[in-house]
DNA sequence: TCCTGGACTTGGTTCTAATGTT
DNA sequence: AACATTAGAACCAAGTCCAGGA
């Protein structure tokens, strides 16, 4: 509401950090703007089938998938089953066992990683022996991989030897890159300016390594202008390059610092750490030239925008601020939040016992929220209806004509709503555009914040509109009215010297204005459904603040790599501990490590009944002799986790024993909770918590899969490899999605097309035979005479058709393969982007192929990674 | 030590925009 | 140009984990 004219923004710009912002004018322009719209009404929610017990045998899956990881969750039809049953999964654990004996601390070897090359070689098996160790460093998937590619197993070991960081892979990347880049430059002239920018930036991107190196040595001077508070403008004015450089540097520095300060580490640990870091630096080679693997082409447009964006946000990367203890920012300026428009009564009357009813606007509003959900599954759920009725009834009043929900007919409202939707759809492109622009204009001022002098995007600056609560799974509160949030519900957090955002609703005011720089939120309000909880307004993922914590997250996960061996050894030892708590901690840690389970905090009764590791119930785990465990439970978001895994015997025995004398609904780990577990983990590695294992296993899996499986080929082939690796991770993390409604239809259409192609292929073959014998081709399906072609021409056609068929089959396979697997979640949250960026650089795959615009923005901090980076 | 408030990350679905197809 | 599909942004729910106080 309220005008966009508010001058405040401008003011701020001026006053605050002077300049940075500027330049932007154009930036905002496009697209970066959020798109606005609100959620409509209907929706079908998905639901996964709850219930733990019994339940379905879902597909294939399970069977033997002992091999956990690969196998994964049961569901995917994928490979899993077939594989050799049993086998190996084992590998893993056992490894630790044996290794256990070994010296507890690993030498400075740091990462013993299997060089890709070696792996490739893999053929012969080798002495497994010390393999154990190496296995420790590997992702579970590989450890367990019994099935599928077990091939590697034995092999891996030897290889590692060298590597370390040798970084490298002998790969003459640099040379390759060099060539490429040249090419690029030459072509430059022809390209449009925008393209140029693109190129440039790319180059910078990749080229940064060299820079890093230098900077490192050179020291710190640079860093982002802002920090020193000097708002020199330039900051963004200069382009990415500089800024990149500077930021990078900071990063490095910081990392180093950090490393230094872990006093709490044991010596050996420190050694390890040190060595690893040194490796790191070593690895920085000078491949300056490289790069540009990115193909320019059409991507240009996007990129350009991207670039603009990065202009300011480029800041991304580490803020010095972080180092200063708790402080998350020095200055913070923003315009508060925007509210949804007030309710506009439509006047359409619903029926009660067949007769139209008068409703006040408030009553009508809620009735409409309900009416609009007609097509969702929510309205089939008694809980939903019940909760809705309770809240609506309160609004109607005891004596209202409407006395029971069953006699209500919301159809008139539903229909009205459908019509409105239709109208909207029918609007011309221009009209739509106009609407969009109008909205954008109103929101523009709320979209940005200035943090430490740098303009950054705000994430969710729109206050959530009122509606009916849509909890997932069997949420006890589903259907309750989520009331409208008003300014007096909202607390604003802003810099001391910044102007206080004007309350957009006339006559009202904020609940409170704070100036707390130890937190990152810009505003919050209490969740109307659960007043004990809060809804926060944060900066967008592309912001430097978020980027930095993201980076820290991955650094912590990487650190786990140095500790994992010992941790595994330790918990393996404790499987048989006499102390029950210890035993439970050991087993729980094992599950978290091996299966990437979540920690599992306790939940209240007024939340959906889901579990994580620490809250597993007896009924969620079934022991299948001799040593398999079948998991079946509803996890976060009520997504079902179903998996049968082979485990080490001691684990199996321990679980069986935890189940003794308990009811199915009792806690499996009765002497454990997440705080105990995390407290224990923290003793093993500073900062270690349960979720770090998920990040670690996800990222290391991607890293290794990419190393092992990438082969020469074109971009499309590499893309497939990447997706396979990504999929593997998604399976480990149990990231599912519902099969799209049209999936089957799409598949059959594709099948049809495929058949058709095969048909023409056959025809070509006949024609070829005939042509070779000098006979004319047969008539085509319509009875028309085809052209006479030379055998060579026909052969060519056959080749193209074959290619088409192959391509199609591949895409069908992928489609089928990924129909229930969500790749996005792991990309956003679990996979260290540096792995991907480095891989793209090494294999000349344009990063845009893998990361979309928002991921690119989110991961700017990772773009200048060395191509040889290993997680 | 336990409990709870508080802050921030993770996650699947929904809806729109962009792109592909006919 | 109309329609189908896909990509991706937006949404907001649901986790994790920490810190501080009793």
Digit-coded pLDDT (tens) for A797-819 = 788 778 778 777 877 888 888 88
CA dist A314 and A149 (Å) reads 42
The answer to whether A208 and A244 have CB atoms below 8 angstroms apart is yes
Express each pLDDT in A105-143 by its tens digit: 332 223 233 333 322 223 323 332 333 334 444 444 444
pLDDT at A303 over 80: no
pLDDT of residue A522: 96
In this structure, what is the dihedral angle of CA atoms A848, A854, A856, A857, given to the nearest 10 degrees? 150
**Nearest Cα to Cα of residue A170 among A850, A849, A842, A851:** A842
pLDDT of residue A774: 79
DSSP β-bridge partners for residue A524: A491, A536
Measured in angstroms, what separates residue A839's CA from nucleotide C19's C1'?
Answer: 40
Measured in angstroms, what separates residue A687's CA from nucleotide B5's C1'?
Answer: 22
In chain A, CATH 3.90.15.10 covers 551-699
Torsion sign (Cα): A103, A105, A106, A108: negative
pLDDT of residue A37: 24
DSSP A784: P
Least confident of A127-136, A480-489, A518-527, A845-854: A127-136
Torsion sign (Cα): A99, A102, A108, A109: negative
pLDDT at A41 over 60: no
pLDDT at A619 over 90: yes
pLDDT of residue A682: 95
CB-to-strand C under 7 Å, chain A 769-828? 815
Question: 């490393």: which residue's tokens?
Answer: A259
Q: How many CB atoms lie within 10 A of CB A791?
A: 15
pLDDT of residue A486: 94
Averaged pLDDT for residues A288-298: 32
**How far does chain A reach from its first CA to its final CA, in angstroms?**
48
CA dist A859 and A427 (Å) reads 37
Q: Is any atom of nucleic acid chain B found less than 7 Å from the CB of residue A49?
A: no
Torsion sign (Cα): A534, A537, A541, A547: negative
pLDDT of residue A422: 85
Q: How many CB atoms lie within 10 A of CB A665?
A: 10
Burial A42-71 (b: 16+ CB within 10 A, else e): beebeeeeeebeeeeebebbbbbbbbbbbb
Residue A757 in tokens: 């192609």
CA dist A469 and A608 (Å) reads 13
pLDDT of residue A215: 34
HSE, side-chain direction, 13 A CA sphere, residue A192: 9
pLDDT of residue A434: 85
Q: Is any atom of nucleic acid chain B found less than 7 Å from the CB of residue A273?
A: no
pLDDT at A613 over 80: yes
In this structure, what is the dihedral angle of CA atoms A386, A390, A396, A397, given to the nearest 10 degrees? 130
Measured in angstroms, what separates residue A821's CA from nucleotide B15's C1'?
Answer: 21
Question: 């001077």: which residue's tokens?
Answer: A221
Measured in angstroms, what separates residue A308's CA from nucleotide C2's C1'?
Answer: 35
pLDDT of residue A784: 66
The answer to whether A620 and A52 have CB atoms below 8 angstroms apart is yes
Region of residue A51 (phi > 0: left; psi between -120 and 50: alpha; otherwise: beta): left
Give A74 or A140, the one with higher predicted confidence.
Answer: A140
Q: Is any atom of nucleic acid chain B found less than 7 Å from the CB of residue A436?
A: yes
Averaged pLDDT for residues A545-549: 93
Averaged pLDDT for residues A368-378: 93
In chain A, CATH 1.10.132.10 covers 705-861
From residue A503, alpha-carbon distances to A509, A523, A744 in Å are 6, 13, 50
Q: Do β-strands A332-334 and A448-451 pair in parallel, antiparallel, or remain unpaired?
A: antiparallel
**Nearest Cα to Cα of residue A701 among A594, A551, A805:** A594
Res. A780 pLDDT band, cuts 50 70 90: low
Res. A662 pLDDT band, cuts 50 70 90: very high
pLDDT of residue A529: 94
CATH class of segment(s) A551-699: alpha beta
Give A151 or A613, the one with higher predicted confidence.
Answer: A613
What DSSP string runs through A613-670? GGG-BGGGEEEETTTEEEEEEE-GGG-EEEEEEE--HHHHHHHHHHHTT--TTSBSST
* Cis? peptide before A331, omega within 30° of 0: no
Q: Is any atom of nucleic acid chain C found less than 7 Å from the CB of residue A691?
A: yes
Return positions of chain C under 7 A from a protein CB. 5-19
Express each pLDDT in A323-332 by its tens digit: 445 789 999 9
Express each pLDDT in A154-183 by its tens digit: 222 222 222 333 333 322 222 222 223 323
- Which of A259-268, A647-656, A766-775: highest mean pLDDT? A647-656
Q: Is any atom of nucleic acid chain B found less than 7 Å from the CB of residue A637?
A: yes
Least confident of A236-250, A393-407, A572-586: A236-250
Express each pLDDT in A265-285 by its tens digit: 222 232 233 333 323 322 222
Note the helical H segments in A240-381. Answer: 240-260, 267-283, 300-313, 320-323, 361-371
pLDDT at A708 over 50: yes
Name the percent of chain A lying above pLDDT 90: 47
Q: CATH number of A705-861: 1.10.357.10, 1.20.120.530, 1.10.132.10, 3.10.20.740?
A: 1.10.132.10
From residue A212, alpha-carbon distances to A219, A405, A668, A764 in Å are 10, 67, 50, 57
pLDDT of residue A431: 82
Which nucleotide's C1' atom has the smallest distance to the CA of A688?
A: C17
CA dist A563 and A571 (Å) reads 12
Sheet holding A332-334, edge to edge: A332-334, A448-451, A454-457
Which residues have C-beta within 8 Å of that of residue A458, sequence separation ≥ 6? Answer: A334, A446, A447, A448, A449, A522, A537, A538, A539, A540
Q: Is any atom of nucleic acid chain C found less than 7 Å from the CB of residue A686?
A: no
Element spanning A741, H or E: none
CA dist A462 and A458 (Å) reads 10
Express each pLDDT in A747-766 by its tens digit: 877 787 788 778 878 888 88
Averaged pLDDT for residues A645-673: 95
Q: Is any atom of nucleic acid chain C found less than 7 Å from the CB of residue A462?
A: yes
Give A325 or A696, the one with higher predicted confidence.
Answer: A696
In chain A, CATH 2.170.11.10 covers 8-42+333-341+446-544
Angle (CA) A44-A48-A52 rounded to 5° is: 155
Domain A351-426 annotated CATH 1.10.10.41: yes
Averaged pLDDT for residues A701-716: 90
> Would you say the pTM of this structure is higher than 0.75?
no
Which residues of A are known to be catalytic?
A: 830
Measured in angstroms, what separates residue A297's CA from nucleotide B20's C1'?
Answer: 18
In the predicted model, what is the mean pLDDT of chain A? Answer: 69
CA dist A201 and A545 (Å) reads 23
Which residues have C-beta within 8 Å of that of residue A392, sequence separation ≥ 6? Answer: A363, A366, A367, A370, A405, A481
Torsions phi, psi for A734 (to 5 deg): 60, 45
**Nearest residue to nucleotide B2 when comparing alpha carbons to its C1'?**
A675
Give A18 or A835, the one with higher predicted confidence.
Answer: A835
Q: If you compute the radius of gyration of chain A from its CA atoms, what whole number of angstroms results?
A: 30
pLDDT at A200 over 80: no
Q: Is any atom of nucleic acid chain C found less than 7 Å from the CB of residue A340?
A: no
In chain A, CATH 1.10.10.41 covers 351-426
Which parts of A390-522 are beta strand (E)?
Answer: 408-409, 448-451, 454-457, 467-468, 481-482, 491-493, 512-514
Q: Quick check: helix, strand or coil at residue A110?
A: coil
Please give the CATH number for the structural domain made up of A8-42+333-341+446-544: 2.170.11.10
Sheet holding A355-356, edge to edge: A355-356, A351-352, A408-409
The burial class, CB within 10 Å (0-12 / 13-18 / 19+), for A533 is exposed
CB-to-strand B under 7 Å, chain A 352-391? 376
Which nucleotide's C1' atom has the smallest distance to the CA of A737?
A: B12
Averaged pLDDT for residues A185-190: 30
pLDDT at A468 over 50: yes
Which residues have C-beta within 8 Å of that of residue A530, sequence separation ≥ 6? Answer: A477, A606
CA dist A365 and A404 (Å) reads 18
Measured in angstroms, what separates residue A219's CA from nucleotide C7's C1'?
Answer: 43
The answer to whether A646 and A89 have CB atoms below 8 angstroms apart is yes
CA dist A672 and A612 (Å) reads 12
Q: Quick check: helix, strand or coil at residue A609?
A: coil
* Greatest extent of chain A over all pairs of C-alpha atoms, in Å: 93
For chain A, give me the number of helices (H) and strands (E)? 31, 15
Name the percent of chain A lying above pLDDT 70: 62
Q: Is any atom of nucleic acid chain B found less than 7 Å from the CB of residue A737?
A: yes
CA dist A306 and A238 (Å) reads 15
Give A743 or A453, the one with higher predicted confidence.
Answer: A453
């Amino acid at each position: 509401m309220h005008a966009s004219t508010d001058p405040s923004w401008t003011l701020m710009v001026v006053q605050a950090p002077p300049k940075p912002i500027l330049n932007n004018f154009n930036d905002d322009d496009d697209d970066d703007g959020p798109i606005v719209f609100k959620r409509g009404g209907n929706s079908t929610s998905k639901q996964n089938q709850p219930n733990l017990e019994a339940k379905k045998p879902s597909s294939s899956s399970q069977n033997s998938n002992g091999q956990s990881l690969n196998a994964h969750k049961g569901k995917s039809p994928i490979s899993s089953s077939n594989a050799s049953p049993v086998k190996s999964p084992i590998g893993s654990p056992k490894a630790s066992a044996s290794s256990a004996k070994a010296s507890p601390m690993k030498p400075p070897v740091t990462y013993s990683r299997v060089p890709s090359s070696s792996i490739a070689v893999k053929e012969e098996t080798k002495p497994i022996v010390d393999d154990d160790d190496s296995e420790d460093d590997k992702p579970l998937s590989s450890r367990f991989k019994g099935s599928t590619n077990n091939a590697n197993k034995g092999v891996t070991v030897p290889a590692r030897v060298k590597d370390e960081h040798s970084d490298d892979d002998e790969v003459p990347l640099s040379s390759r890159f060099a060539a490429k880049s040249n090419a690029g430059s030459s072509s430059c002239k022809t390209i449009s300016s925008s393209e140029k920018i693109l190129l440039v930036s790319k180059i910078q991107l990749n080229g940064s390594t060299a820079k890093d190196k230098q900077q490192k040595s050179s020291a710190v001077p640079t860093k982002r202008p802002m920090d020193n508070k000097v708002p020199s403008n330039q900051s963004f004015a200069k382009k990415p390059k500089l800024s990149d450089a500077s930021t990078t540097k900071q990063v490095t520095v910081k990392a180093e610092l950090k490393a230094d300060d872990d006093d709490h580490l044991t010596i050996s640990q420190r050694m390890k750490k040190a060595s690893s870091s040194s490796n790191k630096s070593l690895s920085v080679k000078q491949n300056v030239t490289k790069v540009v693997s990115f193909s320019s082409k059409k991507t240009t447009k996007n990129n350009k925008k991207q670039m603009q964006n990065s202009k300011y946000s480029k800041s991304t990367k580490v803020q010095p601020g972080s180092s200063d203890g708790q402080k998350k920012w020095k200055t913070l300026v923003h315009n508060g939040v925007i509210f949804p428009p007030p309710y506009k009564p439509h006047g359409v009357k619903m029926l009660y016992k067949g007769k139209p009813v008068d409703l006040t606007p408030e009553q009508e509003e809620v009735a409409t929220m309900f009416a609009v959900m007609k097509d969702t599954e929510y309205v089939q759920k008694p809980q939903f209806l019940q909760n809705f009725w309770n809240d609506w009834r309160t609004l109607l009043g005891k004596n209202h004509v409407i006395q029971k929900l069953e006699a209500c007919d919301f159809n008139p409202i539903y229909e009205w709503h459908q019509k409105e939707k239709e109208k909207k759809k029918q609007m011309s492109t221009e009209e739509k555009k106009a609407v969009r622009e109008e909205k954008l204009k109103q929101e523009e001022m709320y979209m940005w914040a200035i943090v430490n002098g740098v303009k950054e995007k705000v994430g969710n600056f729109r206050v959530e509109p009122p509606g009916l609560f849509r909890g997932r799974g069997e949420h006890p509160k589903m259907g309750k009215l989520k009331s409208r949030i008003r300014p007096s519900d909202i607390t604003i957090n802003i810099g001391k010297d910044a102007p206080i955002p004007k309350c957009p609703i006339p006559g009202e005011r904020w609940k409170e204005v704070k100036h707390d720089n130890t937190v990152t939120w810009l505003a919050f309000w209490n969740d109307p459904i659960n007043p004990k909880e809060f809804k926060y307004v944060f900066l967008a993922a592309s912001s430097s603040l978020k980027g930095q914590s993201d980076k820290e997250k991955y650094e912590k996960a990487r650190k786990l790599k140095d500790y994992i061996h010992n941790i595994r050894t330790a918990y393996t030892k404790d499987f048989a501990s006499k102390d029950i708590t210890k035993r439970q901690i050991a087993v729980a840690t094992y599950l978290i490590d091996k299966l990437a389970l979540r920690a599992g905090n306790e939940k209240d009764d007024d939340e959906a009944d889901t579990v994580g590791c620490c809250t597993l119930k007896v009924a969620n785990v079934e022991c299948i002799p001799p040593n398999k465990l079948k998991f079946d439970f509803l996890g976060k978001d009520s997504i079902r986790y179903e998996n049968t895994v082979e485990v080490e015997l001691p684990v199996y025995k321990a679980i069986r024993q935890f189940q003794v004398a308990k009811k199915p609904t009792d806690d499996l780990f009765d002497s454990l909770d997440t705080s105990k577990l995390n407290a224990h983990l923290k003793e093993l590695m500073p900062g270690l918590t349960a979720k770090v294992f998920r990040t670690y296993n996800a990222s290391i899996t991607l890293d290794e899969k990419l190393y092992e499986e990438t082969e020469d080929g074109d971009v499309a082939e590499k893309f497939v490899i990447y997706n396979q690796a990504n999929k593997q991770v998604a399976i480990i993390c149990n990231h599912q999605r519902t099969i799209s409604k049209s999936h089957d239809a799409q598949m059959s259409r594709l099948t049809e097309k495929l058949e058709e192609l095969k048909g023409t292929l056959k025809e070509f073959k006949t024609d070829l035979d005939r042509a070779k014998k000098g006979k004319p081709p047969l008539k085509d399906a319509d009875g028309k005479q085809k052209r006479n072609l030379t055998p060579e021409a026909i052969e060519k056609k056959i080749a193209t058709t074959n290619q088409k068929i192959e391509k199609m089959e591949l895409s069908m396979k992928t489609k089928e393969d990924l129909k229930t697997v969500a790749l996005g979640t792991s990309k956003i949250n679990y996979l260290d982007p540096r792995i991907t960026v480095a891989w793209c650089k090494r294999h000349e795959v344009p990063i845009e192929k893998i990361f979309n615009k928002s991921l690119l923005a989110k991961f700017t901090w990772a773009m200048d990674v060395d191509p040889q980076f290993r997680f």
